[in-house]
Structure 1
Amino acid sequence: MEKKSNKLAICRRCGTTTGVITKYHLYYCRHCFREVARRIGFKKYN
């Protein structure tokens, strides 16, 4: 039986593996995402 290799998602900005947002192929951790969200086109609605 072959063993699956689990590839960890890494933050493209700081390199951490915890709390990484992979949806829409973002690959930013939640901390970095809050800092760069405006620059990459996300808007905050109330």
Structure 2
Amino acid sequence: MLHTDNAPVASVIPDGYVMGGRSGLATIHVTSGERQRDIPVTVTP
């Protein structure tokens, strides 16, 4: 599961999806606005 510092990514970006699978920066693609940005995440099983 991917988490930001305060919440699961799904809670932060409910209309997007995460590319990547390692701790550090993951690229978040927000489908509704066609935006993307990098946020720090932690990957846990």
Larger fraction in helix: 1
Q: Which has the higher contact order (CA 8 A, sep 6+)?
A: 2
- TM-score w.r.t. the length of structure 1 is 0.27
- TM-score w.r.t. the length of structure 2 is 0.28
